[in-house]
Amino acid sequence: MAGASDTEVLVIGGGAIGLTIALRLADDGRAVTLLEPNEPGSGASYGNAGTIAEYAIIPVGTPGVLRNLPDLLFSRVSPLSVRKAALPTLFPWLLRFAYESLPGPMRRNVAALAPLLAEASAGWHELSAQIGAEDLFRHNGCVYAYTSMRDFKAAEADITLRGTYGIAQELLSSDALSRLEPQLPPFEGGAVLFPGAMSMTDPGEAMRRLAVAVTQAGVRILPRRAIRLERQSTGVRVTTPEGAITARRVVIAAGAHSRALVAQAGERVPLDTERGYHIEFDMPTPLLSRPVSPTSRGFYMVPMQGRLRIAGLVELGDLAASANERRFAQLEEGARTFFPDLGKPDRSWLGFRPSMPNSVPVIRPVRGAPDVILAFGHGHLGLTLAPVTARIVRDLVAGRAPAN
């Protein structure tokens, strides 16, 4: 080892969150090392819906979800489900999720998410320019579409709540949605357009450019897995299969893999895993011009470079089990409801989201251990909140009070 400290800051995790944190710390002149056992940005940062969802202030847990929780969790076709084999270990998380879905906690969680999301688009404008990825972004909004007036009525409270936080929304009739996206079938309940939302045409390519920018900024990226973390008088020692690294500060940004490392740092967090799915259909001409989410289905239909991606669903489970083929079939059946002439999917993907019961990410030092900073638990918002999270972590490392 090269003395008391091998690096000033060690970032554990090379998804969108970890990469952006590493870049911002390097911008501040820090000596940064990043650990990522897989290709940087190849997990949930690649497989998502590509939306910069500044409008998504409503957490997964709401009173409406709580009322229907048993049916949602155990229906074979629900957009929110649980792997039965994982139920015993998930039970404490589910109890906490039920509490966070009550009206008071839900409103508190909205109030925590809203200021973070308010900075998301500005953060990505800056970051995309820095990494040379401006050509990978659309700026024509995203759509929530309602298959029935009943679905729209059920969403009215959420629409009103978003309005109180100043989120731009345009209500579209069924005819107006058809003019906006003429390839879609009629949606009886109309839609909500979020006109200020951005989306990516290729999240994987955006992650590749981000990783290149991180390396060019002087960050050392090591293809290693962190297996143990110990706080010592000389710094924080992180053990990998290839040896140990000592750092003055460690940032845990390992997504769904973060929980064990946090426990070793001296704190327990109610983090668990959402298993996210997508399928893709190759096509030369997009069927849509922006991401559209049929809300009752729980997924996004996203036009990407040379393909249509159907991404979403919430399956609570674990990191070890193989893909649930029923979820791929569910996405395929849902896609054909709106585009009956689609062929067979050209590819499918399973990834893991780090999920907190309240949908609010953990971005702070470990309690009583300011040399270990937590940056995980973003659920569906990891891509969206990467620049915001990086700014907060940069301020924490510098000893400045974050704005949020």
- In this prediction, residue 1 has a pLDDT band, given cuts at 50, 70 and 90, of very low
Angle at 371 between CA 257 and CA 3, to 5 degrees: 100
Q: What's the pLDDT tens digit per position in 282-323?
A: 999 989 999 999 998 989 999 999 999 999 888 887 777 788
What percentage of the chain reaches a pLDDT higher than 70? 97
Inform me whether the pLDDT recorded for 3 exceeds 60: no
Q: What's the pLDDT tens digit per position in 340-378?
A: 999 999 999 999 999 999 999 999 999 988 999 999 999
**pTM for this model (two decimals):** 0.95
Q: What's the pLDDT tens digit per position in 212-227?
A: 999 999 999 999 999 9
Inform me whether the pLDDT recorded for 143 exceeds 50: yes
CA atoms 122, 124, 129, 135: torsion sign: negative
What integer pLDDT is reported at residue 78 of this predicted model?
Answer: 76
Q: Give me the mean pLDDT over the 56-80 stretch.
A: 82
- In this prediction, residue 404 has a pLDDT band, given cuts at 50, 70 and 90, of low
What percentage of the chain reaches a pLDDT higher than 90? 83
User: Which of these ranges, 28-32, 89-93, 363-367, has the smallest mean pLDDT?
Assistant: 89-93
Average pLDDT, the chain: 93
What integer pLDDT is reported at residue 10 of this predicted model?
Answer: 98
User: Which of these ranges, 28-32, 277-281, 316-320, 358-362, has the smallest mean pLDDT?
Assistant: 316-320
What integer pLDDT is reported at residue 83 of this predicted model?
Answer: 77
| Secondary structure of the chain in HEC code, one letter for each residue | CCCCCCEEEEEECCCHHHHHHHHHHHHCCCCEEEECCCCCCCCHHHHCCCEECCCCCCCCCCHHHHHCHHHHHHCCCCCEEECHHHHHHHHHHHHHHHHHCCHHHHHHHHHHHHHHHHCHHHHHHHHHHHHCCHHHEECCCEEEECCCHHHHHHHHHHHHHHHHCCCCCEEECHHHHHHHCCCCCCCCCCEEEECCCEEECCHHHHHHHHHHHHHHCCCEEECCCCCEEEEECCEEEEEECCEEEEEEEEEECCHHHCHHHHHHCCCCCCCEEEEEEEEEEECCCCCCCCCEEECCCCEEEEEECCEEEEEEEEEECCCCCCCCHHHHHHHHHHHHHHCCCCCCCCEEEEEEEEECCCCCCEEEEECCEEEEEEEECCHHHHHHHHHHHHHHHHHHHHCCCCCC
Q: Write the CB contacts of 160 (distance below 8 Å, at least 6 apart in sequence).
A: none
Q: What's the pLDDT tens digit per position in 148-167?
A: 999 999 999 999 999 999 99
Q: What's the pLDDT tens digit per position in 239-263?
A: 999 999 999 999 999 999 999 999 9
- In this prediction, residue 17 has a pLDDT band, given cuts at 50, 70 and 90, of very high
Ordered domains of the chain (ranges, CATH): 7-67+99-398 (3.50.50.60)
Q: What's the pLDDT tens digit per position in 104-121?
A: 999 999 999 999 999 999
